[in-house]
Structure 1
Amino acid sequence: MAGIGIGIGIGIVGAGISGLTLALRLQQLGIATTLYCESDADTLRASRLPATVVRMGHTRERELGSGHFRDPGCLMSRARLSVKGDPPLEFTAGVAEPFHAVDFRLLLPAFMDDYAGRGGELVVAAKPPDAAQVDRWSRRHELMVVAAGRRSVAELFPRDAARSPFERPQRLLAAGLYRGIDLEPLFSYNISGGAGEILHMPMMTRAGVVSAVLVEALPGGPLEPITRTPWQEVPAALRALLREHAPRLAERVDAAAFELLGPDDLLQGAITPTVRRPVAELPSGRIALAVGDAWIVNDPITGQGANLGSKCAWIAADAIAAGGPYDAAFAHATAERMWEAAAPVVDWTNAFLRPPAEHVVKLLVAATTRQDLADLVLTLFSDPAFAWGLMSSPGEIARIVDGGEPPLYDRV
Structure 2
Amino acid sequence: MRRILIVGAGQSGLQLALGLQSHGYDVTLMSNRTADEIRSGRVMSTQCMFHTALQHERDLGLNFWEPQTPNIEGLGISVAAPGSHDPGPTQRAIDWVGKLDGYAQSVDQRVKMSGWMETFAERGGQLVIHGATVGDLDYFSRTYDLVLVAAGKGELVSMFERDASRSPYSEPQRALAVAYVHGLAPRPEHPDFDAVRCNIVPGVGEMFIMPTYTLSGRADILFWEGIPGGPLDVFRGVKDPSEHLKLTLDLMKTFLPWEYARTTDVELTDANGVLAGRYAPTVRKPIGRLPGGGAVLGVADVVVANDPITGQGSNSASKCAATYLASILERGDKPFDEEWMQQTFDRYWDTAQHVVKWTNAMLAPPPEHVLDILGAAGEFPRIAHRFVNCFDNPADLENFFFDPDKARAYLAEVSGASAA
- Using the size of structure 2 for normalisation, the TM-score is 0.89
The alpha-carbon deviation at position 119 of structure 1 amounts to 2.2
Query: For residue 147 of structure 2, what is the aligned residue in structure 1?
Result: 144
Pick from 62, 73, 79 the counterpart of residue 75 of structure 2: 79
Question: What are the Cα deviations for residues 233-290 of structure 1, in whole angstroms up to 9, with x where unaligned?
Answer: 2333222221232233222111xx3222333111011111011111023345442000
1:69 aligns with 2:79: no
Question: Does residue 342 of the first structure (1) align with residue 342 of the second (2)?
Answer: no
Pairing of 1:3-402 with structure 2 (within 5 A): 6=1, 8-59=2-53, 60-71=56-67, 74-85=70-81, 86-125=91-130, 128-148=131-151, 150-183=153-186, 185-229=194-238, 230-254=240-264, 257-323=265-331, 324-402=334-412
Contact 1:78 1:187 in 2 (8 A): yes
Partners of 2:159 and 2:42 lie apart in 1 by: 27
Is the Cα–Cα contact under 8 Å of residues 130 and 152 in structure 1 kept in the other structure?
Answer: yes
Deviations 1:177-216 (A, max 9, x none): 1123114622111100111000001111111111111100
1:73–1:399 Cα change, 3 Å: same
Q: 1:43 to 1:333 in 2, by over 3 A?
A: same
Matches of 2:126 and 2:385 in 1, distance apart? 44
Q: Secondary structure at the match of 1:381?
A: coil
How much does 1:74 deviate? Answer: 2.2
Q: Which amino acid aligns with 1:67?
A: N
How far is 1:149 from its partner?
5.0
Do the aligned residues in 2 keep the contact of 1:130 with 1:151 (CA within 8 Å)?
A: no
Identity of aligned residues (%): 34
Q: In structure 2, do the counterparts of structure 1 residues 150 and 403 end up closer, same or farther at CA, with 3 Å as the change threshold?
A: closer
Please say if residues 173 and 214 of structure 1, whose CA atoms lie closer than 8 Å, have aligned partners that are also in contact: yes
How far apart, in 2, do the equivalents of 1:115 and 1:307 lie?
Answer: 21
Q: Give aligned pairs, total.
A: 396
2:176/2:224 contact within 8 Å kept: yes
In the aligned structure 2, how far is the partner of 1:282 from the partner of 1:313? 23
RMSD: 1.9
Letter in 1 for 2:63: G
Q: Distance in 1 between matches of 2:251 and 2:276?
A: 16
Write the distance in 2 (CA, Å) between the matches of 1:108 and 1:375.
32
**Contact 2:69 2:106 (C-alpha < 8 Å) held by counterparts:** no
Further displaced range: 15-24 or 217-226: 217-226
Instruction: State the alpha-carbon separation in 2 of the partners of residues 317 and 364 from structure 1.
Output: 37
Give runs of ≥4 in structure 1 deviating > 3 Å: 149-152, 226-230, 283-286, 403-406
Structure 2: unaligned runs, 5 residues or longer: 82-90, 187-192
Q: Distance in 2 between matches of 1:402 and 1:245?
A: 33
Question: Deviation digits for residues 75-129 of structure 1, max 9, x if unmatched?
Answer: 211221111114431111111111111110001112112222222221111xx22
Residues 149 and 383 of structure 1, relative CA distance in 2, 3 Å threshold: closer
- TM (norm. structure 1) is 0.91
1:71 CA drift (Å): 4.1
